[in-house]
Each structure stands twice: as structure tokens, then as C-alpha cells.
Structure 1
Amino acid sequence: MRLLKGTLIIITIVMILSGCWDHREISEITVVVGMAVDKGDDDKYTLTVEGINAKELSDKTASGFAPSFVFSLKGDTLAELSQKMNVGISKHLIFSHMKVLVIGENVLKEGIIDFIDYLERNREIRDDFNIVTARNVKAADVLKVTYLVQKSSSLKLHTQLSTFVESWGGDPDIRLNDFIQAYTSSGRRGVMAALTIKGDLEKGRSVENMKKGAADAMVLVDSMAILKEDKLQDFLQLEDARNYLWITNKLDKTVVTVDCSKNKFLGVRIFNTVTKSKARIVKGKAMINLKVRAEAYLDSSQCKDDLTQINTFKKFGKLTEKQIKKNLEGTIKKLQQEFESDIFGFGEILYRQDYDNFKRIEKHWDEYFKDAIVNVDVNVKIRRSGIRTKSLFSEQK
């Protein structure tokens, strides 16, 4: 018994005192927060990483030096390039805190599954980073534009995209697992946000860009890319990106502009939105039924309707429903007629709800999606009108 207790004590002490076998001191590492992938004329990858200078990110310790550095290397595989970065970087790179992956438009046109496979296999890289593409600019340049608030370009982009999707819904909010799910699915096409640069890129790279209220260059969310398997098919407008989130039940909040009379508009803030989808094959055609339910309040009004009357709220509610239905149906028809691409996952819904029929048409789903009948039913309840009940327009003489 004593021998057993002694053995347990020794094992416990050894476990407590032992350290991590692969640990590195903080002074020996550089945290990578962003990665960009481009392709040159020689068909080789150019991998660009952004590493942070943590001291310069804090207002208390900053001394005016660059808050991050960007370094590029050219080669055949990301696996080799990511470990070869020390040809120019002094410290060991840590990729576990990466926030954004920017893929060049030329790379996306040729296909990205080769290096996505590396990202998925790598045990150091998490799957919670944003995947975006650069439109009309190099992916590396997106990581080089500095910004006033978040001094790191990648940290700024991560926050920007998260805030955008929460407040308006223009970013499809794609992570690594989202891309892989779409790539391996026969009932869904992939999407990702597309970024571009507005302004003077050369000036935007400078630390001085962070000291200006009106920056010389900024990275903007431009549109949404549609993928066919792992390749770029085309781009959609930001409004379509918002509608994509709405249809797929991923929209948090947004604002809809609604016509209330000739050249007069309402600004309606949407919240608590829920979209439910049902799908089945009826007489050889796919039938998709969408039910959209949402609450709202009046953000602004250019009309003179009396907001103390319940009929005004009912009227504005009907106008809002009509506008949302028009927006959603417009995006769906565009994807059916122009692109023949089911980015909404209607095929996956059909797989779950009408499995036998979907398996018979699985290989031809794009053709069935093109001819699918999609019914959109929208119900919006406007709950309040802000802190005013009487419009300023109604007070005009």
C-alpha cells in the first residue's frame, strides 16, 4: 500500500513539474495575424504574412515604429513557404492566431484547393479566420494598408468584417470549415467576401496613413465572390451578399430603404429575423418555400404619415414586406438565370427533407436549381418609431 502511494506521489510530482515539450518563449516568436496568397507569371505562389509588433499596438508602449511587418516569399507550396520565412524574419512564426486569409483574384480563378488542403491539415492553424479575396488588387497589398484605429491591417480587417456582418450584413462570414463544406457538397456553391483598395496605395502603406483622419488609402468590402467548386465564377453586389445572409438565416441586423411615396423613403431597422426553408420535388421540379419573419423599428421617415396611428405602422409594415420580398427574389433570380449557382444551399435542404428524390437528381442539381420554383413569404412587424412619434415633415407648414 505504501509502495502504491509513493508511486502515485512520484507520478503526480513528475506531471506537475514537467513542462511543454515544444514550448517557446514569447521573446522567440512572432505572431502571424494575416496571410495573403498571390500567383505570379511564373505560376509560383507568393505567400505574404503580416506579423505584429505587439509593443507598438499599445498606446502605453508605442514609440512610433511600425506596428506590424509584412514579408513575402515565392515558391511552389505554402507548406514550404510558411516554414521558410526565416530567410528574412528573425523569429519563429506562430500561425495559431491568424485572423484573415486574403486570396488573390488570379489565384482564385485557377483554384485554391491545393493550399486549402495545407491549411486544413496544419495543426497550428485554427479554422476561425476570415477567408476573403482581393478584387482588382494584389492580395499582399491588402495587408500593407495601415489604419488609424487597429494598427495592424489584418486585425482591422477581422474587426471590420465582423462589425459589418453584425450591423448590416454585407459579409458572408466565411471560415475554413464553411469553404470545405461548400466544396464537398453537391447542393451548395461557395462564396466569400471580396475586398479592394480605395485611394493611393503607396501612401496607404506608410505609418503616416495612420495619423490622418482622412486616410490616403483604405481597404473596403467591395462585393461577394461566387465559387464553382474551388474556382472564382463571378462577383455579386453587396446588396446580394446581404440577401444571401437573409435567405440562409444568418442575418443579424440590417436597414432596408423603403419607398413610402414618390421620391420619399423610410429607413427601417430590421432585427430578430428568422428565415425557415422547406424544399421538395413536385412533378419533376424543385419547390422551395421560404418564410421570412422579422421585427423592425422606424429609423427614419421622409413621409408625413401620422405615426400615432396604428394604421400607419401597418401600412409601413406592408411596404417593408414588399421591398424585402422584391430584394430577395431579385437575388434568387439572378443566381438562377445568370449564374445557375445555388449558393443558398437549397440542394442541401432538399437532401435533408426529400432525400430519395434529391439523390436521383444530385448530379444535375444546377439544372434543377435553374428551373426551381422559389416562393418567398415575408412578414415584418414594426414595433416602434424611435424617440419621436411625429415626423418632422408633418410639422412643415
Structure 2
Amino acid sequence: MMKRAVLIILLLMIVTGCWNRKELDQISLATAIGIDKQGDHYNISVQLLNSDEITSSKGVGQRQPVVTLQISSGSTIFESFRKLTTSSPRKILSSHLRILVLGEELAGEGISKVLDILSRDHELRSDFNILLARNATANDILQVLTPLEKIPANKLYTSLVSSEKNWGVTTNVDLHQLIYDLVDPGKDPVLSSIHIKGDVAKAKSRENLNSVLPPATLEYKSLGVFHKDQFVGWLTDRESKGYNYALGNLQSTVVALPCQAGGKMSIELMSTRSKLRARFVDQQPQAFVNVRVEANIGEVACQLNLDSTFTIQTIEEQLNEEIKQSILDAVSKAKSYKADIFGFGSAIHRDNYKQWNLLKNNWDQAFIDLPVQVTVQSRIRRTGSVVESFIDQME
């Protein structure tokens, strides 16, 4: 009994408890980080929560819900991060990071150094999303106050997820996925872009929160293309949709199609499935993309007989061609950048690793010459609750 008591006492002496705990009044939570490069120096911006304002139950207070700190004198990224402590009265905790925004100039020179330091940081998880600032610096993006969400980083995150699934011009890329694409010789990365729509100066003031029509908003644009770790150019919105069709990232979107008699109709895609393959035909690599779509007719602003099987088949053929062409346009733009963002090289590797080993050192040129066949099969499920539009009856 005595031995057991001594053992328990010894164990209690070596148990340290929460030795590294930090009280909330001792830390500042970082929800977003922006990294820009100007000349030889890195500009680091950190969006910090004003916890008193966020948790206030008395409505909008006198202070901003977030504050953005910036350091612009670091010659290395790690040095710039450490210098932020000269501006923050508390230790900056990055474990709750939601968004990382990279400046376009930095991305053009290469992002591998940024990712290296982030992957080494033991405080960071790898599930934060990475964006590319467009027509603005990363610091400008982090200073925009968002009316419908107190924490701008949360707004960026939820809008990104919703946009990818329901519109299709963006894609959700976290740190793990980006590094995976960089180290894969058969796949080049893409990042969603974010820009400021409206008055940049007013976007940073409380005026942006107190107006029914905010002077400025954060808006997602199309995808930025990387060759290895360097940003090389943009896709259009239509090409970005083509990319997401081919990769199966898109769940739902709206496609506008012309009517034969004039006017437009809108088709709502309810589900998309994609299969991307590659194989050697006569000792030459070829890629195949097969997309299956289920859709509903969402809007008809023209004369159409939706009770006709022939009309529905015609619409399906139009939809097939539109999706196919958007994919081919995205492939063509990627080839102009010499960036295999679709991962055709990885597909070839999976199909025949011996042939891939002969190709991979010259894959940039082989990708440009790669034949890509796209097939799309769509099916219109529903035409709406009425077959004949009341607009036709009015006319």
C-alpha cells in the first residue's frame, strides 16, 4: 500500500498539466494571412480578431471586428512573420487560420518558399484555403470589411465553398492539396482568385458596414494557373467552369443556351460526374474526358415546345456541345501556358508508369501535343411545373 502511495505521489510530481496554456487575454487569433512581395522584401499582413467586438451582444460597437497588421521590411518570410510581434501587443496564434492570400507579384516569382515555411510551422493546420489576389495586393484584400459576416475570413471561406459547388468558377485548394500538386510532375496547380469590387478606399472603413448597398465587396473571379510553382496566367470564367467539369469538382451551376427562334434559356445542372483517363494508342499518349450531367430547365425566355421529345433532345445536344467546348477551351488555354492543370500526366503515369518515365522529363512539350477527346452525355430530368410558358400566351 505504501509503495502504491509513493508511486502515485511521484507520478503527480512529473505531471505538468496544461503547461503551455495561454489565456484569451494573452493571445491574438489570426484568421487570415496575406503575403506580398515588393522588390526584395516580403510584406506580411495578418487579420486578427477583436474578440471583445466579436462576442459583444450589444450590437455594433465603436471598434472594428478585426484589425489587420502589416510588416513590410523583412528580407525573408520567416523574418517578416517574427517582426509582426513589434506591432501586436499579444502573441499571434495561427492555429485557427482560415484563409491565406498570396499577392500576384509574389506568385509570379514562385510560391515554394512560402509553402515551405508554412508546412514547417507546428501551429498551423493544413486545412486553410489559399487564394490569389487579383488587381489588388493581399494586404488590400485583408482590409475589406464584410457586411454580412463580422469576420471577413469566414466570409471568404464560406463563399469559396459555395461558389465551387454551385457556380463552378472557383476551386477549393488547401495547403496539403497545393503541395501535393506541386510535387506531382504530372499535375500543375490552380488557385481561385479574389478581387475587390467597388471603392477600395471605402472598403476599409466602417462605411462599408453601415450601408444597405456596400461601396465595396469581395468577389471571387476565375482560376489562376501555375506552371510548377510560378503563376503564369488566368482562365476565363467559362474556362474555369470547363476545368471543374473535367475534374468533377462542380455539383451545380447554370448554363445559358440560345434558342433557335431567338432569345435565351437557362439550364440548371443538378449533378455532374466526370472520369478522366489517359492511355497509349499506337505508342502515343491520348487523354479522354467523359462527363455525365443531369439537369433541369430553369428558365425559358423564348418560344419552345417543352412537351416535345425532339425539343428536349435538341436542348440536350446543345448542352453537350457547350460543356464540351468549355472543357476544350480550358485545355487549349492550359496548353498555351504549358501547364497541365488537369493532371493528364498523372493519368498517364497511372496507366503506364514505364512509358511515363520516358515522357516526364519532356512533359511540357508532350502535353502541348497531347490529343484530348471529350464526350458529354446530358439528360434533362425536369422542365418545370408548367410545360407552356405564360409569356407565349401573352404574345
Among 354, 360, 363, the residue aligned to 1:362: 360
Query: For each residue in 1:346-368, what CA deviation from the matched residue of structure 2 results, as whole angstroms up to 9, or x when unmatched?
Result: 11111111222111111111211
User: Distance between the aligned counterparts of 2:32 and 2:63, measured in 1?
Assistant: 19
User: Distance between the aligned counterparts of 2:368 and 2:384, measured in 1?
Assistant: 42
Q: Is the 8 A contact 1:119 1:125 kept in 2?
A: yes
The aligned residue for residue 51 of structure 1 is 48
Q: Is the 8 A contact 1:285 1:371 kept in 2?
A: no
The aligned residue for residue 275 of structure 2 is 276
User: Distance between the aligned counterparts of 2:16 and 2:261, measured in 1?
Assistant: 75
Structure 2 residue 31 is the aligned partner of structure 1 residue 25: no
User: Distance between the aligned counterparts of 2:261 and 2:356, measured in 1?
Assistant: 46
Q: Is the 8 A contact 1:286 1:371 kept in 2?
A: no
The aligned residue for residue 72 of structure 1 is 70
The aligned residue for residue 200 of structure 1 is 199
User: Per the alignment, do residues 13 and 263 of structure 1 end up closer, same or farther by CA in structure 2, a change over 3 Å counting?
Assistant: farther
User: Distance between the aligned counterparts of 2:54 and 2:309, measured in 1?
Assistant: 52
Deviation at 1:131, TM superposition (A): 1.0
Structure 1 residue matching 2:209: 3-state secondary structure? helix
User: Distance between the aligned counterparts of 2:4 and 2:391, measured in 1?
Assistant: 84
Query: For each residue in 1:141-193, what CA deviation from the matched residue of structure 2 results, as whole angstroms up to 9, or x when unmatched?
Result: 00111111112332221222122112111112111112111211111111111
The aligned residue for residue 142 of structure 2 is 143
User: Distance between the aligned counterparts of 2:191 and 2:123, measured in 1?
Assistant: 23
Q: Is the 8 A contact 1:172 1:244 kept in 2?
A: no
User: Distance between the aligned counterparts of 2:334 and 2:85, measured in 1?
Assistant: 45
Q: Is the 8 A contact 1:306 1:390 kept in 2?
A: yes
Deviation at 1:37, TM superposition (A): 0.8
The aligned residue for residue 169 of structure 1 is 168
**One-letter amino acid of the structure 2 residue matched with residue 393 of structure 1:** I
Query: For each residue in 1:321-369, what CA deviation from the matched residue of structure 2 results, as whole angstroms up to 9, or x when unmatched?
Result: 1211121122212222x22221000111111112221111111112111
Q: Is the 8 A contact 2:192 2:224 kept in 1?
A: yes
Percent of matched pairs sharing the same residue: 28
User: Distance between the aligned counterparts of 1:262 and 1:327, measured in 2?
Assistant: 24
Deviation at 1:11, TM superposition (A): 8.0
The aligned residue for residue 212 of structure 2 is 213
User: Per the alignment, do residues 14 and 243 of structure 1 end up closer, same or farther by CA in structure 2, a change over 3 Å counting?
Assistant: farther
Once the two structures are overlaid, the 10-residue window that deviates more, 150-159 or 372-381, is 150-159
TM value normalised by structure 1? 0.93
**One-letter amino acid of the structure 2 residue matched with residue 55 of structure 1:** D
Once the two structures are overlaid, the 10-residue window that deviates more, 289-298 or 261-270, is 261-270
Deviation at 1:127, TM superposition (A): 1.1
User: Distance between the aligned counterparts of 2:175 and 2:189, measured in 1?
Assistant: 11
Structure 2 residue 323 is the aligned partner of structure 1 residue 319: no
Q: Is the 8 A contact 2:241 2:326 kept in 1?
A: no
User: Distance between the aligned counterparts of 1:58 and 1:244, measured in 2?
Assistant: 41
Q: Is the 8 A contact 1:307 1:389 kept in 2?
A: yes
User: Distance between the aligned counterparts of 1:18 and 1:263, measured in 2?
Assistant: 76
Task: Report the number of matched residues.
Answer: 393
The aligned residue for residue 347 of structure 2 is 349
User: Distance between the aligned counterparts of 1:169 and 1:14, measured in 2?
Assistant: 57
Query: For each residue in 1:31-82, what CA deviation from the matched residue of structure 2 results, as whole angstroms up to 9, or x when unmatched?
Result: 10111111223x1101010001133235624423100001111212332332
Deviation at 1:384, TM superposition (A): 0.8
The aligned residue for residue 292 of structure 2 is 293
Structure 2 residue matching 1:271: 3-state secondary structure? strand
Structure 2 residue matching 1:247: 3-state secondary structure? helix
Among 378, 383, 390, the residue aligned to 1:380: 378
The aligned residue for residue 301 of structure 2 is 302
**One-letter amino acid of the structure 1 residue matched with residue 379 of structure 2:** K
User: Distance between the aligned counterparts of 1:95 and 1:159, measured in 2?
Assistant: 19
Q: Is the 8 A contact 1:286 1:369 kept in 2?
A: no
User: Per the alignment, do residues 4 and 319 of structure 1 end up closer, same or farther by CA in structure 2, a change over 3 Å counting?
Assistant: farther
User: Distance between the aligned counterparts of 1:382 and 1:203, measured in 2?
Assistant: 45
Q: Is the 8 A contact 2:172 2:192 kept in 1?
A: yes
The aligned residue for residue 389 of structure 1 is 387
User: Per the alignment, do residues 80 and 340 of structure 1 end up closer, same or farther by CA in structure 2, a change over 3 Å counting?
Assistant: closer
Unaligned runs of 5+ in 2: none
Q: Is the 8 A contact 1:182 1:188 kept in 2?
A: yes
The aligned residue for residue 60 of structure 1 is 57
Query: For each residue in 1:242-277, what CA deviation from the matched residue of structure 2 results, as whole angstroms up to 9, or x when unmatched?
Result: 211111121121111122315422211112211012
Structure 2 residue matching 1:196: 3-state secondary structure? strand
Q: Is the 8 A contact 1:257 1:267 kept in 2?
A: yes
Q: Is the 8 A contact 1:151 1:210 kept in 2?
A: no
User: Per the alignment, do residues 386 and 11 of structure 1 end up closer, same or farther by CA in structure 2, a change over 3 Å counting?
Assistant: farther
Task: Compute the RMSD of aligned alpha carbons.
Answer: 2.1
Deviation at 1:10, TM superposition (A): 5.9
Deviation at 1:215, TM superposition (A): 1.5
**One-letter amino acid of the structure 1 residue matched with residue 53 of structure 2:** E
Deviation at 1:19, TM superposition (A): 2.3
Q: Is the 8 A contact 2:235 2:330 kept in 1?
A: no
**One-letter amino acid of the structure 1 residue matched with residue 269 of structure 2:** I
**One-letter amino acid of the structure 2 residue matched with residue 138 of structure 1:** T
Structure 2 residue matching 1:261: 3-state secondary structure? coil
Q: Is the 8 A contact 1:285 1:368 kept in 2?
A: no
User: Distance between the aligned counterparts of 1:348 and 1:195, measured in 2?
Assistant: 28
5 Å-filtered alignment, 1:95-110, equals: 95-110=94-109
